[in-house]
Structure 1
Amino acid sequence: MTIAEAKQVRIVDFLAQLGHRPQFVKSEQYWYLSPFREERTPSFKVNDRLNEWYDFGEATGGDLVELGKHLYGTDNASEVLACISRHTGIESLPRIRVPTIPPRPVEAEMKDVVVVPLRHYALLSYLHTRRIDADIGRMFCREVHYELRGRRYFALAFGNASGGYEVRNPYYKGCILNKDISLVRHMHGEVQCRVCVFEGFMDFLSYLTLKQAGDGTICVEAPCDYLVMNSVNNLKKALVQLQGYAHIHCYLDNDLAGEKTAETIAGMYGERVRSEAGRYADYKDLNDYLRDRKR
């Protein structure tokens, strides 16, 4: 078996062969009790559409080969492939219905990409629908214009630590260049003792809008730095940045992924971590709280 062949094996079927059944399934996300340890609530997720897994307890994930490295206790890809091949019934497992060469992401087809200061009325209007203060939006976001398949588009652009941009408009959510976390200092060149952690930049902008409005129910009074993960898959990178903070405030989504992310951070940094999701318990996330859209 080659690496390419192994990646074509559906992880959900492979786990079933090993006796692991999902606790529940939601929107092509299969949640399992982790195969790496004993636990009572699921913290291991498989994205069946992408055929990738992520373990919140270990803050790591990947394809079937990476899973095999953890299951079989070796970093040697050849050994992993041999173990998968030898596993009872593995040769009869169905392959996922994707081409051998994965489709290019839509960002790879973007041409003539230009990033400019945020000023487009439609994008400011979009922020207004999300109740984000316009001045805060202009301070932390830019706008990106690009050509895609012969047509021109534009979107909000939020910079990350690798020089890439998280991109969003009412119809599209993605990333241009490298995917990474974003770290915003309260004061340039100075690290605070507190940091607020968000999953996406809309929640970060929502927090700043609430803070500007003096919402003491949600916001921390002391000065804080801000870390935006831009995806829970960036948790491992976030954990490295969080080690320098004495107080870590997690403003994550009120769902299983947000809960497990907060638990993983707390598992590493203990009493330094506080989940603030209870401050907006009736809402899915901070932006829903800002818009008063209860679950």
Structure 2
Amino acid sequence: MKTKKICCEHARNLDIVHVLAKLGHYPSKTTVKEAWFLSPLRSETQASFHVSYHKNRWYDFGLGKGGNCLDLVIALKQCSIAEALQFLANDQQLSVTDPNKTSLSFHKQISKKKKEGIKVLFVQELSNLQLLHYAKKRGIPRELIIEMTSEVHFELYGKRYYAIGLQNRRGGYELRNAFYKASSSPKSYSYFQQDGNGLIITEGLFDYLSLALLDPELFFTHDHIILNSLSFIQEI
């Protein structure tokens, strides 16, 4: 099979909003000129990740960093330029943005697809090598990630994907892999009761797992709430 290739100039001009949609990130607010997202590069509850339709450039106000589409993929995947180019080349549906023409129909499609949501197909013990490698890159050992999470296979827009999953108290899952950060419905915080000496609250999945490495005794002698989003703190 012939390997698809694209050049850096072409990759820089690919539609950022389209790329974000392919990775499961959708705008919290849009106008005819711009889109605001919850940052795909960090956890937040107020959208501060800005994309200009006309310039086709992004800027993360929380990080103070921005750039073009190629810069974004490198930051999201934490990979080399060559790896980012290969990732972008593998998606034939990505298009170059025309700065003089805003595709309103495309952004309507995004809104429609966002409402469709994620359909969980099945859940199993974590064994996928790519997911285990992703966890290792995040500093989480194989034994710990297998014990504390699951491998979730799900469908989104007719395509199948898999991710590390942490179940919340309502039965939905927080989903993480090297390219994707999302959650299935119903959404809520996660709660793990161990009849412990107290309660520890962490914001996200990897904060929770990192605590197990930093202080195992504290971790395994306390109950845990993982907020999954700061907005759920009002539910506790």
User: How many residue pairs are counted as aligned between the two chains?
Assistant: 144
Cα separation, 2, equivalents of 1:48 and 1:102: 19
Distance 2:117 2:191 in 1: 28
| Structure 2 partner of 1:88 | none
Give the % identical residues.
26
Q: What one-letter code is carried by the residue in structure 2 that aligns with 1:195? A: L
Amino acid at match of 2:231: N
Change (3 A) 1:222 1:150: closer
Residues 104, 157 of structure 1: alpha-carbon distance in 2 compared, 3 angstrom cutoff: farther
Shift of 1:155: 0.6
Deviations 1:2-27 (A, max 9, x none): xxxxxx9x9xxxxxxxxxxxxxxxx8
Give the aligned residue type for 1:157: G
d(CA) in 1 for partners of 2:152, 2:178:
14
Q: Which residue of 1 aligns with 2:231?
A: 233
Tell me whether 1:209 sits opposite 2:217 in the alignment: no
Deviation track 1:68-101 (CA, whole Å, cap 9, x = no partner) reads xxxxxxxxxxxxxxxxxxxxxxxxxxxxx9x999
- Helix, strand or coil for the counterpart of 1:103? helix
CA distance in 1, matches of 2:219, 2:154: 40
TM-superposed deviation, 1:179: 0.8
**Match in the other structure for 1:215:** none
Deviation at 1:110, TM superposition (A): 4.0
The higher-RCO structure (CA 8 Å, 6+ apart) is 2
Residues 223, 147 of structure 1: CA spacing in aligned structure 2 closer, same or farther, 3 A cutoff?
closer
The change in CA–CA distance for 1:28 and 1:142 in structure 2 (over 3 A counts) is closer
The counterpart of 2:153, out of the listed 145, 152, 156, is: 145
Task: Map 1:154-193; keep pairs closer than 5 Å.
Answer: 154-186=162-194, 190=195, 192-193=196-197
SS at match of 1:154: strand
Give the distance between the partners of 2:219 and 2:157, measured in 1 at CA: 47
Tell me, yes or no, if the aligned pair for 2:134 and 2:178 is still in contact at 8 Å.
Answer: yes
| Match in the other structure for 1:77 | none
| Normalised TM-score (structure 2) | 0.51
Q: Does the 8 A contact of 1:107 with 1:175 survive in 2?
A: no
Counterpart of 1:108 in structure 2: which amino acid? E
Superposition RMSD in Å: 3.6
- Three-state SS of the structure 1 residue aligned to 2:111 is coil
| Larger of the two Rg values belongs to structure | 1
CA distances 1:121-160 after superposition (whole Å, capped 9, x unpaired): 1101111001112111111211111233443321111010
Distance 1:106 1:115, change over 3 A: farther
Instruction: From the superposition, tell whether residues 184 and 100 of structure 1 become closer, same or farther in structure 2 (CA, over 3 Å).
Output: same
Could you tell me how far apart the structure 1 residues matched to 2:108 and 2:159 are?
Answer: 29
Q: Tell me the TM-score normalised to structure 1 length.
A: 0.41
Alignment correspondent of 2:221: 223
Q: Distance in 2 between matches of 1:48 and 1:148?
A: 25
* Cα distance between partner residues in 2 of 1:140 and 1:230: 15
Describe the SS at the equivalent of 1:156. Answer: strand
Paired with 2:200 and 2:235, the residues of 1 have a C-alpha distance of: 15
Any residues of structure 2 matched to 1:1-295 within 5 Å, and which?
47=47, 103-104=111-112, 106=114, 108-111=116-119, 113-186=121-194, 190=195, 192-212=196-216, 220=218, 223-238=221-236
| CA 132–230 in structure 1, closer or farther in 2 if over 3 Å, else same | same
CA apart distance, 1:225: 1.1
Unaligned runs of 5+ in 2: 1-28, 39-44, 50-103
